Amino acid sequence: MRHFTNVHDIGPLDQAIKEALQIKSDRYAFSDLGRNKTLLMIFFNNSLRTRLSTQKAAMNLGMNVIVLDVNQGAWKLETERGVIMDGDKSEHLLEAIPVMGCYCDMIGVRSFAGLKDKKYDYEETVLNQFIKYSGKPVFSMEAATRHPLQSFADLITIEEYKTKERPKVVLSWAPHPKALPQAVPNSFAEWMNQTDYDFVITHPHGYELDPQFVGNAKVEYDQDKAFEGADFIYAKNWSAYADPNYGQVINTDRAWTVDSRKMALTDNAYFMHCLPVRRNMIVTDEVIESPRSIVIPEAANREISAQTVIKRILSELVD
C-alpha cells in the first residue's frame, strides 16, 4: 500500500481485520520495521485522538515522528493557485509540500472540509496535493470527505463486540450547534457498505449524504424505527450535503439526541461515537456512561488501525 485515503486502499477487509487483531495482541512485534524512518504528521485542524494514537502507533513500529501544526508556528499557507500573495499568507502549499517531503519517509495529513465550496472539498484538493507533490506515501488523518483511520477502528471494534454474524448497525444523525463536515459519516458508510452487516442510516430530511457513500444502506427517516432491533448505534452529527444548504446546520432538533428511551428500542445495542462528543446534544450522560457504551475501546482501537496502516506502508517502502 502506497497511500491510504479510503477503504479501497486497504484491500480485503477480513485480511485487514485479522492483521489488526494480530498487531493488537503483540503491538511491539515489528518494532524494528520503522527504524531510521520518519513519519511527519501535518495538522491543519485540531486533534486529540488522531494525534496521540497515530504517534503511538508509529513509535510502536520504531519510527521517528515529527508533528507540525500548520496554524501554530508555521508560516501561514496559501492553498489556492493563481492568488496574488500580497496578504497575510507567506508561503504557498505547493512549495511547502515538497519541502515537507524532504524530511520524512511518509506523511499523515489532517485537513477538514472548509464547508464553503463543495467541489473544492469533495475533490479532496489539499490531500491530493500532498499525494501529488510530496513524493512520499501519504495517509489521511481525516480529510475533507473521509476519516478512514476512524472507520477502520470502528470496524475493528464492531468485530470485537458483535455477537451475531450479521449485526444491525445504525448510523444516526444527532444534533450539534456547529456545522461539522460529513467526513466521519461518509467514511463510516463507505466501510460498512464493504461488510455484509445490516446497515441503516437515519437522519432528518435535508441531511442526506452523498449517494456515493450511502451506497446500498437503507435510509430510514424515523429514528425510532431505525433503532428497533439494532446491535450497534453509531451517533454522529453532520452538516447538510445537498445544495443549496451545503455545509449548513439546518436543524438542531434535540428530539434526535440518543437517550435511554431510544436505546431501549434496540437489541441491547452498543453505543459508539468517534469522539469528541457533545454530551446532552448528541448523547445523554446516561447513555454514554452506560455499560453498553464502547466509545473508549473504540478510541483505543485508533492506535491499532493506525499501526496496521503505517506497517503496511513501511513494508512497501523502497530504501
Which residues form the interface with ligand CP (CB under 6 A)?
Answer: 47-50, 142, 150, 274-276
User: Any bridge partners for residue 283, and if so which?
Assistant: 258, 279
Least distance to ligand CP, CB of residue 316, Å: 25
Least distance to ligand CP, CB of residue 286, Å: 22
Answer for the pair 38, 63: CB distance below 8 angstroms, yes or no. Answer: yes
Q: What nine digits make up the cell of 240?
A: 447538510
Which helix H or strand E contains 126, and what residues bound it? helix 125-133
Least distance to ligand CP, CB of residue 302, Å: 7
Cα–Cα distance between 115 and 98 in angstroms, integer?
A: 26
Residue at shortest CB range from ligand CP: 50
State the amino acid at position 139 in one-letter form.
Answer: F
Question: Could you tell me which of 264, 257, 255 has the C-alpha nearest to residue 279?
Answer: 257
Q: Which is nearer to ligand CP, 48 or 99 (CB)?
A: 48
Least distance to ligand CP, CB of residue 50, Å: 3
- Per DSSP, the residues of 59-110 read HHTT-EEEEEETTTTSPPEE-STT----SS--EEHHHHHHHHHHT-SEEEEE
Q: Which is nearer to ligand CP, 55 or 78 (CB)?
A: 55
Least distance to ligand CP, CB of residue 82, Å: 32
Least distance to ligand CP, CB of residue 277, Å: 9
First-last CA distance in the chain? 15
Q: Which is nearer to ligand CP, 168 or 237 (CB)?
A: 237
Q: Which is nearer to ligand CP, 47 or 280 (CB)?
A: 47
Cα–Cα distance between 114 and 121 in angstroms, integer?
A: 7
Q: Which is nearer to ligand CP, 152 or 241 (CB)?
A: 152
Q: Which is nearer to ligand CP, 136 or 146 (CB)?
A: 146
Cα–Cα distance between 149 and 147 in angstroms, integer?
A: 6
Which helix H or strand E contains 220, and what residues bound it? strand 218-220
Distance of CA 257 to the CA centre of its chain: 21
Least distance to ligand CP, CB of residue 9, Å: 18
Q: Which is nearer to ligand CP, 214 or 306 (CB)?
A: 306
Cα–Cα distance between 184 and 151 in angstroms, integer?
A: 8
